[in-house]
Structure 1
Amino acid sequence: MTVAPFRLGMLIPEFPTQTHAFFWREITALRAAGVEVHVFSTRRPAEDCPHEWAERAASETTYLYPPRLSSALVSPRDFPGMAQALAYIARLSVGAKQKARALGMLACAVDLLHYARERKLDHVHGHSAADAAHVLALCRLLGGPRYSFHLHGDLPVYGTDHGAKAWDATFVAAAARPMQRQLIEDAGLAAERTYTLWMGVDTDRFQPPAKRAEDPRGLHLVSVGRLHLCKGHVHTFSGLRKALDRGLKAHMTVGGRGPHEKEIREAVARFGLEGHVELVGPLGEAAVMELLHRADAFVLSSVGLGEASPVAVMEAMACGVPPVCSIIGGTPDMIEDGTDGLLVAQEDEEGLANAFLRLGQDRALQERMSRAARERAVRTFDYRETSRRLLDAIQESRAPHRQAA
């Protein structure tokens, strides 16, 4: 007797973009495990994705916004749960403008319901705790499949009404332990309905080079991510300036794009780093690996809210590049300070300078941390293991946990 494959919907906002490499890895791993994965997204991304798999990913993605006209014109009599869905929106703790916007999410939820029925989906997992989670909750109220969703940063970044979003979620995952605590303490979820599920990296593909050559320009620092002020580039540049003024030979390559590129370029000039810092724009996976193979340290000095367990740090560690990170989100769980990387307080420019000096002046320390970072990545961050844990969570938590809507 042939057993039908488990059919999983995966809802990812604005997929694919530069920061979505992990999601594609996860989809690939789940399919390799025999899961039939159907990819959905809220809307098409505004910018092109630089990864080599992006065209295929976009072609396999069903976009829910704008919703089909047939979904936008439904009435309460069309679905038994429509009255409950409208009541859900009415009870949201937001203003009239946001509630009107939620009616658009309801039309997207109707679209998702149609697709779920057509494709006989067993479950839908959302990689967001923001509007996408509302779409999942509304779809469930209309009679759609069981669902779960993932919190990828601090709870306040993802809007309000998290208890409503999770009203019948089989579980809510968090990408780091501090976010799991927020789900329990701030959103009021029962602990047994939450998990910490990290993202992951392909440790077979992201590997250290056979030999890492010494750079005649000194310590090579690398940062890859959105060009956003929350990523702390300005603090990194200040720390680098301090270290250079104390005699360190170093230079830095910054990959990525984002809304604050102008301010970040201005900061490079303000600290007199034009000869030491190069901004190279968005990078595909192959280019990221090539850059990491030339790096001595990876820098992420993020500040504020929003950071969880950064995949860019995992990729660096898999390539044997020790990270220098601010203490934010899940970085203290990812990095053992002084063993496989260095941790500094947020906005601590003196601490960043000392970290750069420490690595730049002690090649043996750099090499020990490189080996330890690689070992940690293989042991903890491989995407096949993290994807298996997600699938286990979905399959083990499918007993109902209904709460009042």
Structure 2
Amino acid sequence: MAWTLLDRTRAMTVAPFRLGMLIPEFPTQTHAFFWREITALRAAGVEVHIFSTRRPVEGCPHEWAERAASETTYLYPPRLSSALLSPRDFPGMAKALAYVSRLSVDVKQKARALGMLACAVDFLHYSRERKLDHLHGHSAADAAHVLALCRILGGPRYSFHLHGDLPVYGTDHAAKAWDATFVAAAARPMQRELIEDVGLPPERTYTLWMGVDTDRFVPPPQRVESPRGLHLVSVGRLHLCKGHVHTFAALRKALDRGLRAHLTVGGRGPHEQEIRQSMARFGLEPHVKLVGPLGEGAVIELLHGADAFVLSSIGLGEASPVAVMEAMACGVPPVCSIIGGTPDMISDGAEGLLVAQGDEEGLANAFLRLGQDVALRERMARAARERAVRSFDYRETGRRLLDAIHASRAPQRQAAWQGATPRADQAAA
């Protein structure tokens, strides 16, 4: 990227770069990496203003949650004053209404999009009040529509982040990206989708991972062997797509073959009851413990007592899981399904073990292999830690995002993109 640290420093001596960060339903348990990114950007001198679509329904167990919520401006419900437009905004409103009318969704969804337009008007007013230079969103779903509509109305340039497979994030992605300076993907397969399915030029895309605090997520001074055998840990949403049932089936197979092991599962989600039922079906109550949602400190404590981390996700939606990065930073070898960016994060047999999605036999063999070979676990633990420090530190990933924003806003880059709008029939330009 052309924008160097010296360039940023010179720019900030003139005025701070003001960035609006839009994160849906912020903050929740899974948003720790967003807060790390905000922290890194602020440390680099960026004035970050946090916005969210609406207040989260679920609580957030992290120690920074109260501060984050107090600093967040929620766009829904929009302020009544946002209905007031000046004459200079009328052309933009006509284009925004045309944008909504062209969306390839049903009448009900278009009515929903009109609600997003009201939020976009409010976002426009906030952007002007706070003199924001750029907007970046962490979603390719409704929040991306809000960003695009805000831009159409006359708001700042924008970019957004894709955190999973495109089909998970609705439709009309070309419309969402119509004037984005770039669209980032949290894993290389998602970047390919942006290029091949949305039609974005490669230079308008990046693969940008989220990050982990490798100064806080560190290996323990000494890992104590559990008297109950191999300690497996899994942290994430209690959702069927996380593949808990496959982990349980594999653990049952490994136990039946003589492995001494137990599993601790952290997190909450909509399918807790089904997950508990599958645990009972495999007779794993003595071997599996569900501990609920965990703050960062509790996650670190759990990882310090772990021998391996398990992520057996299936289907769509997984990108480059931060929970895996956290485990690797703590020197815990991951056992992961091949999904999203996990093959880019983990070299099979070096930092961890990879198995096909839904491969219960493969998972069982991985558990047995790690349980029977302490030296292998130790080698993988060192390699995992080294990879996390080298590639996943939040300060480095935050720097990459800031470099992408500045590079994409460069006049020569913007000039090169004129006329490259993807699928202009869906855009409102």
Query: What TM-score, normalized by structure 2, do the two folds share?
Result: 0.93
Identity score, percent? 87
**Unaligned 5+ residue runs, structure 2?**
1-9
Q: Which amino acid aligns with 2:399?
A: R
Distance 1:281 1:193 in 2: 40
> Displacement, 1:192?
0.7
Distance 2:73 2:110 in 1: 25
Q: Is the 8 A contact 2:238 2:268 kept in 1?
A: yes
Distance 1:15 1:9 in 2: 14
Which deviations, in whole Å up to 9, do the C-alpha atoms of 1:197-220 show, x marking residues without a partner?
Answer: 011100000000000000010000
Structure 1 residue aligned with 2:93: 82
SS at the partner of 2:181?
coil
SS at the partner of 1:107?
helix
Distance 1:67 1:225 in 2: 32
SS at the partner of 2:289?
strand
- Is the counterpart of residue 16 in structure 1 residue 33 in structure 2? no
Q: Which amino acid aligns with 2:30?
A: T
Match of 1:140 among 151, 167, 172: 151
Q: Is the 8 A contact 2:231 2:306 kept in 1?
A: yes
Structure 1 residue aligned with 2:340: 329
Structure 2 residue aligned with 1:94: 105
SS at the partner of 1:10?
strand
Alignment of 1:11-90 (within 5 A): 11-72=22-83, 78-90=89-101
Match of 1:284 among 282, 295, 317: 295
- Is the counterpart of residue 108 in structure 1 residue 114 in structure 2? no
Which deviations, in whole Å up to 9, do the C-alpha atoms of 1:62-104 show, x marking residues without a partner?
Answer: 0001111232465987533110000000000001110110000
Q: Which amino acid aligns with 2:178?
A: W
Match of 1:244 among 255, 265, 268: 255
Distance 1:96 1:59 in 2: 36
Q: Which amino acid aligns with 1:129?
A: A
Structure 2 residue aligned with 1:377: 388
Which deviations, in whole Å up to 9, do the C-alpha atoms of 1:151-197 show, x marking residues without a partner?
Answer: 00001000000000000000000000000000000011111100000
> Displacement, 1:57?
0.1
> Displacement, 1:36?
0.2
Which deviations, in whole Å up to 9, do the C-alpha atoms of 1:362-404 show, x marking residues without a partner?
Answer: 0000100000000000011000000000000000011434534
Structure 2 residue aligned with 1:161: 172
- Is the counterpart of residue 390 in structure 1 residue 390 in structure 2? no
SS at the partner of 2:14?
coil
Structure 2 residue aligned with 1:180: 191
- Is the counterpart of residue 5 in structure 1 residue 4 in structure 2? no
Q: Is the 8 A contact 2:220 2:304 kept in 1?
A: yes
Number of equivalent positions: 405
SS at the partner of 1:397?
helix
Alignment of 1:313-352 (within 5 A): 313-352=324-363
Moved more, 30-39 or 76-85: 76-85
**Unaligned 5+ residue runs, structure 1?**
none
Distance 1:278 1:75 in 2: 58
CA, structure 1 residues 231+99, in 2 after alignment: closer, same or farther (shift >3 Å)? same
Structure 2 residue aligned with 1:264: 275
Structure 1 residue aligned with 2:265: 254
Distance 2:19 2:89 in 1: 25
Structure 1 residue aligned with 2:376: 365
SS at the partner of 1:44?
coil
CA-atom RMSD in angstroms: 1.2
> Displacement, 1:238?
0.2
- Is the counterpart of residue 293 in structure 1 residue 304 in structure 2? yes
SS at the partner of 2:361?
helix
> Displacement, 1:38?
0.2
Distance 2:309 2:148 in 1: 39
> Displacement, 1:10?
0.3
Match of 1:129 among 127, 140, 151: 140
Q: Is the 8 A contact 1:225 1:255 kept in 2?
A: yes
SS at the partner of 1:320?
coil
Which deviations, in whole Å up to 9, do the C-alpha atoms of 1:213-247 show, x marking residues without a partner?
Answer: 00010000000000000000000000000000000
Query: What TM-score, normalized by structure 1, do the two folds share?
Result: 0.98
SS at the partner of 1:79?
helix
Structure 2 residue aligned with 1:207: 218
SS at the partner of 1:147?
strand
Structure 2 residue aligned with 1:226: 237
- Is the counterpart of residue 195 in structure 1 residue 206 in structure 2? yes
Distance 1:223 1:76 in 2: 55
Q: Is the 8 A contact 2:89 2:154 kept in 1?
A: no
Q: Which amino acid aligns with 2:345?
A: M
Q: Is the 8 A contact 2:89 2:153 kept in 1?
A: no
Q: Is the 8 A contact 1:75 1:82 kept in 2?
A: no
Distance 1:75 1:362 in 2: 70
Q: Which amino acid aligns with 1:176?
A: A
Q: Which amino acid aligns with 1:175?
A: A
